[in-house]
Each structure stands twice: as C-alpha cells, then as structure tokens.
Amino acid sequence: MTDKVSRWRITRRSFLKGVVISGTATALATQPGYKTPRARAQEAAPPEPGVTYAYTYCDNCNHVPKCGIKAVVKDGKVIGVEARENYPNSPLCAKGVATIQELYDPHRLLYPMKRTNPKGSADPGWQRITWDEAYDTIVAKLNGIKEKYGPEKVMFYCGDPKEPRPAMQRLAYTFGSPNYCNESSTCAWAPTLAAILTYGQGTMGANPTEKTKLCLLWSKNPAWSEPHLFGKLIKAKENGTKFIVVDPRVTPTVEALADIHLQLRPGTDGALALGMMNELINKGLYDQEFVANWVQGFDELKDYVRDFTPERAAEITGIPVDRIKAAVSLFGTEKPATWLGSASPTTHSSNAVQNHRGILAFMALTGNIDVEGGLTFPTHALPFDLFAGTPQFNRTTDLWPQIRDKRADTDRAPVWAHFFPEIQANFMPEYVKEGKIKAIVMAGGNAMMWPQPQEYQEALENMEFGVAADYYLRPWTHNYMDMVLPAAMPYERMAALAVFGRRVFLREPIIKPFGEAKPDWQWMMELGSRLVGPEEFFGGSEEKAVDAVLRFATGKGIEEFRGKPEGVFIAPPGPEQYRKYESGLLRNDGQPGFNTPSGKIEIYSSVLEEFGHDPLPTYKEPVESPFSTPELAKKYPLILNTGSRVPMYTHSKLRDMPILRNLMPVPIVRLHPDDAKARGIQAGDKVIVSSPHGQITVFAEVTNIVRPGAIDIFHGWPQADANKLVARQFDPISCFPAYKEGLCEVTKA
C-alpha cells in the first residue's frame, strides 16, 4: 500500500542518486553480520607487526550513544577505521569512515586564540595564546560579570557535542548560574516534554522486538539519520513486523519498510493523529479496558475528535482517506504494536507539543503500553541521564534547586522551566536584549541552527564576553566571540562514557591530542578548578571526574571499566517487567499508575490546564499555511520544509571532508517534477528560494522524493542557510521553532 504513484514516478536520476547515497552511507548498516574486507582479512591473519587495534566511537551525528570504531593504529597514528565488534551500534556509515579525515584535517583548530580586532570587524584577527592566558582571561571576565551583575548573567551552552554536557552543567551550577542550556532546545526536549506531560516520563518510543507485529514509524528516516537503527528495523521487517510510516516524503525508509505510507502535508501531524483516533473509537478498535483504567480525559477527547473524521483529516493532511482507515484498522489486528518517533519533525512545528501529544494519545488508546513487544519503558534503567551524566554529578540534585529562581526563561517558557533544569536557549536574543545574559561559555555551538540566525549572531556579539570550544574555527559563530578553544576529538579523548541499557563502556583515548587541543571535560575541569576551586573540579582531572560519575551511577570506580572494549554489564536487580503501571514500578512514590499527577495517562493534561494551555491535544494549523494565510500562500505557494537529514552531513558539519563533500558539493532544494515544470526549472538550475522571512540561492534537484507542493532544503550551509527562510515562530508550550512548516516560492536565479 505504499504510494505506488510516487514510487514509479521517481525520476531515474534522483532514484539512482538515492541509491548511490544510501549505498555509501547505509548499506553497511543494513546488512547484519556484514564484515568489511579488512575485518575478514584480519580474521584470517593476525595484525601486521607494529599494528594494534584500539577502540573508540564516532561522534559525527547527534544520536546517542553513537557507533563504535575499531581503530587500526601504527606508530601512534590511526591508519584505518573499522566497525567495532561486539558493540551495540555498528557498523559505521560514511560519516563514521570520515572521522579519520577529520582527525588529520590540516584545518583543525589546534590552539587557543583570542581576537585582536574589536567585535563587529569583518576579521576578528585571531591570535594564538597559551591555555594559561585563556584560563586567566576567562576567570577574570566571568568573575567580573559575577561581581557586577550576578553569576546568573553567564550562560553556559553545549551544542552538538553531548559528552561535555554533564561537565558544563556542573560548571554552571557551581559558578552560581542556573542558565545552562544546550541544543536539545531544538531537538529531543519537545517530544520528551510531550511524553512527560502525557505518560509521566520521557520516551521516543521503543524498538520492535521479535514479538512486535506492527511498528508505527512516525516522521523518522533512519536510513539516513540513524543507519545503525535502520539495520535493526530491516531485520524486524524480515521477521514479519509490519510498518506504517508517516512522512511527507518517499524516503529510502519508506521504500524499504512501509506497508502503509501516510504521506502527509508537513506540519499536520496533529490532525492526522486526531483523525486516526476518531476512526479507532468509531470502529471500536481502542482498548476499552486499558482506557477505562489508565487514561484520563477519554470522554473529553471523544467529544473533541467527533468532528475530526478521517475525511476531515484527509482534507487537512492530503492523505487519501482509505489509507488513513487502513492504517488504523491494522491496530485492531496486529498486536502488540510499538511506536518509534523522532527527536524532531513532529515538534519542529508551531503546534509542537500538542501535535506530538496527539500521537502519544493515539498509542495510549491502542493499549500497547508497556506490554512485551509494544511501547515499553525500561524496568531497571541505570541512573544515568541521556548524556551519561548523573543528577549528583551534574548538581541538579543539590545546587540547581537553590539557584533555579534566577533562570532567564521562566517568563517566556514556563512549562519548560517547570520540568527541565536546562533553560530554553531559543530566546537567547531576547535574554541579551533584556540584560538577562551578558556572557557565554560555549562548547560546540552553531549560530546557524536557529531561525533568523543573524539575531543569534547579534546576541553573541552584544555579550560582554564569549568563549567557544570547537574542532574548527566556524566564522558564522566564532566571529562574534572573544576567544576560541581547541577541542580534542574522540580518538584523542576520554569523553567519557557510553551507556546501552545496563552495559557501560568507558571511552579511552587512543592517541595524544594534536597541537594543544584538549578534551572538553579536561578544559572544563581545569577551568572549574581556577574559577570555582580545585576541590569541586577533581583537581582539574578529567579521569577523576569520570570516576565520580561512574561511582554515582554504578557503584564501581573507573579502574573496573578500563581496557574493556566489550564494556561492563551491571547486572539488574531482577528481570524485565511489563505493565509496570499495575505494580507501582513507574511512579516515584511506588503507587500503581503512571508518573503523572492523576496517575493515569493524561490525554487531558492537568498540568497544561494549570499553565493556561489547552488540556487536550488540540490541532492548530501552521501559523503560515495555505489554510491559515491563504493570501500569503498566493505569493508563496510552496510548503517550506527545512532540515530533513542527508546521509553525508550533520547540520553545519563535515562539509570539508573529501569523501563526503563529493556526495553533495552544493546546497540543493528538492522540488517535485510538477512544481519544477510549472516554474520552468530543470535539475541543476541555480534557483532562489524565498519566504516572507528571507531568501537564499541554491541548486534545484527535481525528484519524486518530495510531495507535490512541498520542498525540502537541508540546513547548515553557510552560503545558503535555510534558517534565513524560517520564521521565529515558536510553539507556545515547548518554545520550539517551526523548522518544518511555512511558505515559500522557488524561482530561477
């Protein structure tokens, strides 16, 4: 039941391109048991004299906990990379192979630098300085701001890199600032917030197991965004699991997995979920017993979705009504069913949390909650956070509660501020204008990731002091800073732990850092020692800090984890359990039920009601759309969709890696053949994409991957930043930007 029409109309060129790209990037991942030629050769023969193997991981895309790398080392140099055996995420995609090109890239940032030209100059005049001078300056500047305005005026920010987050959080709170934040302000935290509000805990879904009959893959393209997961899903498919894939595009994931493809208009996920619930209720396919016992707000929801017939959902989303009905009817027969969602597309919307809650509500009505093979919650999770920190180490247990009332985001993001210790970073321009933030310490930030990036660049420029650590000088961010610090790469750093369920891997350095690059944890411990005191920062030692995290979470010290590429399994106190809402294992107080105020799954959210939001997962049209702004749509008739992942790049990174750059040398817009023809545009033409908020120049790719009437553009190109087209229009609950909705037009340049 895949969209046959779009399938056979894929142009030969784009189809071939898709194959080539996914072939390079994902074929290895899709073949369980695949061994590279080198691995096969190694099995037959021992390593050459002088060659050793060492183990690390790839950090070239943002998923956690990332894929394993087996490095081939000779004379202190990494001469090859292999997929790591006995590692939960494996093998490597093309970006993983490119880590070796990154490591030896002559353009890396290798020394601390300070600017010598004033802010606002085209050239910052970077000048090399010593780490000592860097630390002395940072300490003097931050302490100056603390004395003059208070410690909360300093923002501590981690972008892409996940490993330094616990150390950065500790640095912020011990300094006295609650204003620690990270890139999850646009990524995993809105779906997490929706799940906390609805289910009482964060979840992005559960992978299918051998028991799973049906998997609802909602806005996820792991073929390109998580190749290691894609391999597991292919296996599930071979095992007989059926797949429903919700995606506006005909992706390689759709091609490989979908029994039913729901090809919706971007930004209309909430309407689809409501139409599906209407059908589920009317056909009596919902789990009446589960709903009666464990769901709050069923009656109110039933009233609300009465008008949301599948026909109305079809009209809003553009999906044929029969297909919506067929998808719902599968839930009546194929049990257990699971759901896998993504960190982003459903919440890159101006109705982010409510659209996403619609999906969670749908799953709740089907009753597949915490049943084996369904949408399970882990029974004995180790007490690490998502980024392998612990509340004790990060100091969210003792220090954060004392300083939280000084956080900058309480007025603008009250629901967010109620649940997360991290502040909502998306209002950085407002915080600076309002005098709430005056300085920033940044690790791996990228000003191009936000809508209307120039406002973030201006905010950075207007701060009294800014320092950023990175692998490279990134002018679009660093030109607005006072100082940059060179960060060591995974091959060169401890950085720090990978946690897969109850298996914990210590990541040890393989080679010495180049130049004066330092692991982020190391510079943070050294800076913390000078800024706050050596006793808080383990005398400046990264190893001692990692040891502390391990002890908090596992009771074991670092020595027990060293030299163990297979990781250390921390035995659980008992077997995995299901229907934990019956046994009291889901709630903090040990009572039966879910960890929400009512103890039930809150389709009707009492917390949202308290904060003045609609308590039901109500649907709102995108702020700019053919339905909400028909006049605007006459000038900008195409739906704008930015940031769908491409296999060869991650956000603003990797553009200069030779093996990747060849796969997509220039920024492109993907246009449906009908839309291209109507505009006289041919594949390869230089085109202007304009929206009510800005314009960029890119090259046209004409392809049936996209829906007619919708385009897609990858973000992170400095010469053509898609975020210039995106409005600073935020979801009222999570304050997420609407990257995946909006209006635009494409014309020949």
List contacts with ligand MGD (CB under 6 A): 59, 61-63, 159-161, 183, 186-187, 218-222, 224-226, 246-249, 251, 264, 266-267, 269, 342-346, 348, 443-446, 449, 469-472, 474, 487, 520, 641-645, 647, 649-653, 715-716, 722-723, 726, 739-740
Cβ 347 to ligand MGD shortest distance, Å: 9
| Dihedral (Cα; 521, 524, 530, 531), 10-degree rounding | -150
Distance separating alpha carbons of residues 556 and 548, to the nearest angstrom: 9
Cβ 420 to Mo ion shortest distance, Å: 16
Cβ 728 to ligand MGD shortest distance, Å: 12
Q: Does 550 bind ligand SF4 (CB under 6 A)?
A: no
Cβ 264 to ligand MGD shortest distance, Å: 6
Q: Are residues 700 and 731 in contact, defined by beta-carbon separation less than 8 angstroms? A: no
Nearest residue (beta carbon) to ligand MGD: 643
What does the DSSP 8-state code read for residue 301?
A: H
Strands of 524-657 (E only): list them: 568-569, 601-602, 638-639
Report how far apart, in Å, the C-alpha atoms of 294 and of each of 273, 307, 369 are. 20, 25, 10
Q: Does 651 bind ligand SF4 (CB under 6 A)?
A: no
Distance separating alpha carbons of residues 443 and 458, to the nearest angstrom: 18
Burial 429-450 (b: 16+ CB within 10 A, else e): bbbbeeebbbbbbbbbbbbbbb
Cβ 224 to ligand MGD shortest distance, Å: 5
Q: Does 617 bind ligand SF4 (CB under 6 A)?
A: no
Q: Which is nearer to ligand SF4, 227 or 345 (CB)?
A: 227
What number of chain residues touch ligand SF4 (CB under 6 A)? 11
What does the DSSP 8-state code read for residue 611?
A: T
Residue 680: left (phi > 0), alpha (psi -120 to 50), or beta?
left
Cβ 227 to ligand MGD shortest distance, Å: 8
Partner whose footprint covers residue 60, from ligand MGD, Mo ion, ligand SF4, none (CB < 5 to 8 Å by kind): ligand SF4
DSSP bridge pairs for 260: 244
Residue 748: left (phi > 0), alpha (psi -120 to 50), or beta?
beta
Q: Does 187 bind Mo ion (CB under 5 A)?
A: yes
Partner whose footprint covers residue 472, from ligand MGD, Mo ion, ligand SF4, none (CB < 5 to 8 Å by kind): ligand MGD
For β-strands 337-341 and 638-639, DSSP reports them as unpaired
Phi, psi values for residue 484, rounded to 5° = -125, 150
Q: Does 95 bind ligand SF4 (CB under 6 A)?
A: yes
Q: Within 619-743, where are the H helices?
A: 630-635, 658-661, 673-678
Q: Which is nearer to ligand MGD, 294 or 471 (CB)?
A: 471
Distance separating alpha carbons of residues 149 and 177, to the nearest angstrom: 12
Contact flags string 3-42 toward ligand SF4, x per CB under 6 A: ----------------------------------------
202-261 binders of ligand SF4 (CB under 6 A): 227-228
Q: To which residue do tokens 């055996």 refer?
A: 85
Cβ 241 to ligand MGD shortest distance, Å: 18
Partner whose footprint covers residue 651, from Mo ion, ligand SF4, ligand MGD, none (CB < 5 to 8 Å by kind): ligand MGD
Q: Which is nearer to ligand MGD, 226 or 287 (CB)?
A: 226
Q: Does 366 bind ligand SF4 (CB under 6 A)?
A: no
Q: Does 96 bind ligand SF4 (CB under 6 A)?
A: yes
52-91 binders of ligand SF4 (CB under 6 A): 58, 60-61, 66-67
> 12 Cβ partners below 8 Å, 6+ apart?
none
Nearest residue (beta carbon) to ligand SF4: 96
Residue type, 152: E
> What residues line the site for ligand SF4 (CB under 6 A)?
58, 60-61, 66-67, 92-93, 95-96, 227-228
